[in-house]
Amino acid sequence: QVQLVASGGGSVQAGGSMRLSCATSPHTYTVYAVGWYRQAPGKGHGEGVALMDSDGLTSYRDSVKGRFTVSEDNAKNTLYLQMNSLKPDDTAMYYCAVAPSMTAQQALGVNIDFSGWGQGTQVTVSS
């Protein structure tokens, strides 16, 4: 995975919504998955949240299905994560990354060691 620049995090109460953004340029991969990972407080590794691949297919972890939506604005080279009905368990540092030569489903299942990664964007959901 190659980290991209994510933004848009903040604090919100449970049940609220938030949209994260990610600058997807200048990667030049032709076969890839791109999307969102997160690392909850105290957890050593991160988890895939929502990925989209170069075939336009998406894959979500079960706990966010129906609440989160990943989308891409190619004209703006920007990837979004719309998060609705947020829960305290969604509290985490969120990262955006591109996974070369992977499908969305493959990239979703990767557990990532974020040590050595740059700053993500913090999402805090209070009860």
The whole-angstrom separation of Cα 113 and Cα 10 is: 23
The confidence score (pLDDT) of residue 42 equals 87
Question: Does residue 5 contact residue 34 with C-beta atoms inside 8 Å?
Answer: no
Token pair belonging to 122: 């913090």
The confidence score (pLDDT) of residue 52 equals 96
Average pLDDT across the chain, whole number: 94
Q: What is the pLDDT of residues 12-40, one digit of tens each?
A: 999 999 999 999 887 788 899 999 999 99
For residue 87, is pLDDT > 90?
A: yes
For residue 85, is pLDDT > 90?
A: yes
Backbone angles phi, psi at 118, to 5 degrees: -80, -170
Q: What is the pLDDT of residues 45-78, one digit of tens each?
A: 889 999 999 999 999 999 999 999 999 998 999 9
Q: How confident is the model at residue 112 (pLDDT cuts 50, 70, 90)?
A: confident
